[in-house]
A and B are shown apart, each in its own frame.
Chain A
Amino acid sequence: MVKSISLTLAALLLSICLFVFTERYLDDRFGKFYDAVDTLYEKTEQGKANAEDAEAVRTLWATERSRLHVFIPHNDITYVDHRLNTALSYIYTENYSDALANLEVVLQMAKTLPGNYKMSIENIF
């Protein structure tokens, strides 16, 4: 009996810790990614973005995504991949207006994706 109760409480406690950690981790990682993309967006807007800036964002995302796969559905990561790669390819070819459109989408995804996994009525149902 005591063993069962202890086991249940331990499982409950571990689960709660995991929930809190996941929420914070996603906020933190997507926050960092958002800031990097935002910086690139500003540079692109001014026509100053170059291949080096694009590569820096790509490297950052590559590091983050390998860990994010543990916590969020892989399809969501693929959507970000697709839009980011499109935006970066436009930066390489100095097509800034198309790059901005795609970066805007990436920014929105970085802002809204963590919210999709948070506790809220609309997410539960």
Chain B
Amino acid sequence: MALIFIRTAIIFITLLVVMRLMGKSQIGEMQPFEFIITLLIAELACIPMADSTIPLLYGIVAIVAIFILHQIVWLLNMWVRPMKAVISGRPSLVITREGIDEYQLRKNNLDVSDLIESMRAAGYFNIDDVYYGLYEANGSFSALAREQKTDSLAVTLIDSGRLNAHNLATCGIARGTLDGFLKEQGTKIKKVLVMTVDGNGRVYLQIRGKPYKILKIEAEKRW
């Protein structure tokens, strides 16, 4: 029985470390240890229930072990402040007044498209609709919104140095126009962290390592 307890504890700790290393993209609105408990409890309850060759007591001991570990993690979170950051992680500020913080995104195993997706899910359709944006420790996205949001959907043209040709065609921007536009800004596609354009031809351009700029581009289509 003690064997089951120790094995459960080892699996729990391993999963906790792995989940923390995976960053916020894998959690989905739960603390890492809560996510692991959800993951484990279902299996632990199911296996002895379905497999009659395993004593039911094995499942009960493993579930009690999970309960004890949960309580220990919870108490550590309450009593030892630095442990909370180690176990549950810290919020990550990914959008500042200078634009997107690529380092913070990478640290959480996220990229610009993940960020844009999270923003859309939170009701922001333009990157500069917010002053600050952050991923909470549980992986949810929070933002301090600007007083006035833009009224048009932004389309991503360049994401982490990669051109989205489909979106470029959707916007009715010729490749030559885009190249000329970037040349004017003294940059190339590969150096751009993100470039979006909305239906009014309003461009959000952030070159890697530099603050973002709001510019205008000639687009044939309006949306």
- Chain A residues within 8 Å of B, Cβ to Cβ: 1, 4-5, 7-8, 11-12, 14-15, 18-19, 22-23, 69-75, 117-119, 123-124
Q: In the complex, A74 Cα to B71 Cα: how many Å?
A: 32
CB of B165 closer than 8 Å to a CB of A = no
A-B Cβ contacts below 8 A, count: 60
Contact B55 A15 (CB under 8 A): no
Minimal Cβ-Cβ distance residue in A for B74? A4
Complex partner residue of A4 from B5, B52, B64, B71, CB under 8 angstroms: B71
A74 touching B61, Cβ below 8 Å: no
- B residues neighboring A (CB under 8 Å): 1-3, 5-7, 10, 52-55, 57-58, 61, 64-65, 67-68, 71-72, 74-75, 78
**In this complex, what residue of A is CB-closest to B54?**
A73
13 contacts between A and B (CB under 8 A): A4-B74, A5-B71, A8-B67, A11-B71, A14-B64, A15-B68, A18-B1, A23-B1, A23-B2, A70-B57, A71-B1, A117-B1, A124-B7
- The answer on a CB contact under 8 Å between B55 and A71 is yes
How far apart sit A117 and B7, CA to CA, in the bound complex (Å)?
Answer: 12
Q: A14: shortest Cβ distance to chain B, in Å?
A: 8
